[in-house]
């Protein structure tokens, strides 16, 4: 455990010295925050509260990006080989990166909540427990997603491509940018298979509807199961060596991690609570503040 913390502390230091990281985990989330808060919500308290779900989700989801890039760079440059000479296990390496991630992402989350309170005068944050359970779960499970990406890609380029694909599907199909209920029904149904959708809706339901964790157990369990599976499989697929070949069935294993969300997606497609909530949330708000304005017409 001491080793994990030492490694995590080192990773935090190294990452903070990386300008690209500061851009992706601090500047970009803050741009989203002000864009949503001032442009989409026009500073309206209710609308900002509603949009904190997408804003916080984007901040949290971004973790997979930095983590996968760091791991792949380290492997490509032979840095992981040097670590391999020490008595360290893949699980130690992976756990340290997930822990480092909390320390790197949580300050931005707090900053956004703080600014929501003092710039946009949001006073009702709904259910704090739900909010934090989802933030923590999100950092863990999306961090684990980054590990999975790193374990099935061989080069930085591959990693970039996969990350872009994931990022854009999270952006546009999960309700993080365009509210789910304004999307075509087919797209909404596809969105129900994405973990990002449940992160956004979990945070929103906690903040807007004051829902407790007990009414969101299915979402929590799915995120938890997804994170645990991804963590476990990425430690199995962990490669120290730049030239190490991917086991033939590795990609299948990686795909297996989305199982919880296939199940949840099927279940949700039948019960439809998320979509209904998303629709009612949008209906509840003053329509002129619906984000982004041009898409709600």
Instruction: Catalog residues that contact other proteins under the rule CB under 8 A.
Output: 2-3, 6-7, 10, 13-14, 17-18, 74, 77-79, 81-82, 84-89, 240-241
H-type alpha helices, the chain? 2-16, 19-22, 28-34, 45-61, 63-76, 79-84, 90-118, 128-152, 156-173, 185-191, 195-208, 217-236, 250-256, 259-271, 273-284
Least spacing, CB of residue 242 vs other proteins, in Å: 9
Least spacing, CB of residue 254 vs other proteins, in Å: 23
Least spacing, CB of residue 110 vs other proteins, in Å: 25
Alpha-carbon distance of 59 to 81, in angstroms, equals 31
Alpha-carbon distance of 144 to 232, in angstroms, equals 9
Per the structure block, which two tokens stand in for 148? Answer: 């999975």
| Between 13 and 117, CB nearer to other proteins | 13
Least spacing, CB of residue 86 vs other proteins, in Å: 4
Least spacing, CB of residue 6 vs other proteins, in Å: 4
Alpha-carbon distance of 141 to 121, in angstroms, equals 31
**Distance set, CA 151 to CA 93, 233, 289 (Å):** 13, 9, 42
Alpha-carbon distance of 48 to 35, in angstroms, equals 11
| Between 4 and 166, CB nearer to other proteins | 4
| Between 16 and 45, CB nearer to other proteins | 16
| Between 42 and 84, CB nearer to other proteins | 84
| Between 2 and 297, CB nearer to other proteins | 2
């Amino acid at each position: 455990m001491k080793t994990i913390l030492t490694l995590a502390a080192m990773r935090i230091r190294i990452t903070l010295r990386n300008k690209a990281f500061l851009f992706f985990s601090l500047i970009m989330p803050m741009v989203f925050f002000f864009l949503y808060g001032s442009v989409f919500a026009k500073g309206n308290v209710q609308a900002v509260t509603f949009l904190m779900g997408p804003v916080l989700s984007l901040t949290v989801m971004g973790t997979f990006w930095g983590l996968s890039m760091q791991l792949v760079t380290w492997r490509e440059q032979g840095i992981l080989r040097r670590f391999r000479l020490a008595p360290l296990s893949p699980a130690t390496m992976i756990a340290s990166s997930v822990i480092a991630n909390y320390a790197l992402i949580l300050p931005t989350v707090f900053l956004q909540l703080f600014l929501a309170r003092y710039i946009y005068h949001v006073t009702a944050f709904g259910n704090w427990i739900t909010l934090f359970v989802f933030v923590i779960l999100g950092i863990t499970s999306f961090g684990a997603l980054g590990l999975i990406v790193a374990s099935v890609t061989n080069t930085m380029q591959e990693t970039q491509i996969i990350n872009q694909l994931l990022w854009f599907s999270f952006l546009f199909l999960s309700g993080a940018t365009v509210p789910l209920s304004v999307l075509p029904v087919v797209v909404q149904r596809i969105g129900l298979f994405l973990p990002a959708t449940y992160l956004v809706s979990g945070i929103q339901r906690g903040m807007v509807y004051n829902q407790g964790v007990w009414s969101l157990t299915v979402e929590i369990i799915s995120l938890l199961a997804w994170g645990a599976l991804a963590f476990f499989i990425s430690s199995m697929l962990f490669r120290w060596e730049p030239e190490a070949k991917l086991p033939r069935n590795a990609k299948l294993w990686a795909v297996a991690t989305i199982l919880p969300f296939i199940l949840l997606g099927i279940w949700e497609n039948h019960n439809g609570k998320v979509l209904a909530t998303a629709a009612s949330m949008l209906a509840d708000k003053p329509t002129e503040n619906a984000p982004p304005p041009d898409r709600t017409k």
